[in-house]
Structure 1
Amino acid sequence: MDNLFPVDAEQAWTADGAGEEPADERVPFGRSWRFDFDRGEFVLTPSRKVAPADSTEAWVMWCQKAIRTPRYRHLIYSRNYGQEFEDLIGRGYGRAVQESEIQRIARETLMVDPRTASVEGFVFDWAGEQCRFSCRVMNVQEEAIVLEGSVS
């Protein structure tokens, strides 16, 4: 009789590393374009070309853009891209619930990228109905940034 749970040699489950990927496989960081989020435009070189962002800087640009982009609003992005902060404010939730949801949404937004290892250390600053927050985001190369966002 055939085995109900066949074992693939590449996906063997062991007590030591159940389902873990081999440590030598590295996540590619790729390239992107530099963007000035305060001015709302791409950063240009002196020759008027869009400035490239390599490696870690490309990941930072991705994180900043993902945390600022509302999910499902732009058809160009997949359904996994962006955040859902719009649904929080004005629903009558207490601040503790809203802060918990901001943490959950920010983690879900940023952890979609395989370059992101962790999102933690949230700090909240409330001004009326607007909440500004910051968090510490670490990538798989153990480089960390402080990312800021707001919900209103």
Structure 2
Amino acid sequence: MSLFPIIQPETAEQTVDLPLCREVKWDYENNIPVWRGGEPVIVSGAQAVLSWAYRALQVPRYRFAVYTWGYGNECESLIGTAYTDELKQAEAARYVRECLLVHPYISEVSEVRVKFDEGTLRVSCVLETVYGEVDLDV
């Protein structure tokens, strides 16, 4: 027993066995799920993580009761702020990282590039997942 139970000694990286990630396949051009034979198509592995990440970046955090408070992003809060363009881009990049890193299959978000284009936020980044690297463009 430790005098400070909240402080734990550093140990070797703990690995948790995660089940195979499975999600609904997404049509990125039309922003709708893919259906076949009246049922949604299910993908697994890196494609499933990419599908989840794409959808998570589409949802404003805290707006819809159907989602947990950890799901979605806060980029919408930048609308109408008097921040400089550089600060808005830095904040948007931070919000993107926070949004994506809640997923247990994503260990790192790198090369985040954000661009405000006529009222639309464009995001591209590289996700380091348990299945390898995947590129995300939203």
> What's the TM-score once normalised by structure 1's chain length?
0.77
Secondary structure of the 1:97 match is helix
Aligned-residue offset at 1:109: 0.3
Aligned-residue offset at 1:125: 3.6
Aligned-residue offset at 1:117: 1.1
Task: Find the aligned partners of 2:2 and 2:114 in 1 and give their Cα distance.
Answer: 53
| Uncovered stretches (5+) of structure 2, i.e. residues with no partner | none
Task: Find the aligned partners of 1:4 and 1:122 in 2 and give their Cα distance.
Answer: 41
Secondary structure of the 2:39 match is coil
Corresponding letter in the other structure for 2:92: I
Aligned-residue offset at 1:19: 4.5
1:68-126 deviation per Cα after TM superposition (whole angstroms, max 9, x unaligned): 11111111111010001111132111111011101110000000011101111123444
Aligned-residue offset at 1:128: 4.3
Task: Find the aligned partners of 2:4 and 2:83 in 1 and give their Cα distance.
Answer: 46
- What is the aligned partner in structure 1 of residue 49 from structure 2? 59
Q: Quick check: which one's strand share is greater?
A: 2
Aligned-residue offset at 1:137: 1.2
Aligned-residue offset at 1:135: 1.1
- What is the aligned partner in structure 2 of residue 30 from structure 1? 21
Inter-CA distance 5–88: structure 2 relative to 1 (3 Å threshold) = closer
**Which stretch shifts more, 31-40 or 99-108?**
31-40
- What is the aligned partner in structure 1 of residue 69 from structure 2? 79
**Which stretch shifts more, 110-119 or 129-138?**
129-138
Aligned-residue offset at 1:39: 2.1
- What is the aligned partner in structure 1 of residue 79 from structure 2? 89
Inter-CA distance 3–55: structure 2 relative to 1 (3 Å threshold) = closer
Structure with the greater relative contact order (CA < 8 A, sep ≥ 6): 1 or 2? 2
* Identity within the alignment, %: 27
Number of aligned residues? 137
Secondary structure of the 1:68 match is coil
Task: Find the aligned partners of 1:123 and 1:30 in 2 and give their Cα distance.
Answer: 26
Secondary structure of the 1:4 match is coil
- What is the aligned partner in structure 2 of residue 42 from structure 1? 33
1:19-64 deviation per Cα after TM superposition (whole angstroms, max 9, x unaligned): 55434x333333121122332332122x332111112221111111
Secondary structure of the 2:40 match is coil
Secondary structure of the 1:38 match is coil
CA-based RMSD of the aligned residues comes to 2.4
Task: Find the aligned partners of 1:38 and 1:98 in 2 and give their Cα distance.
Answer: 26
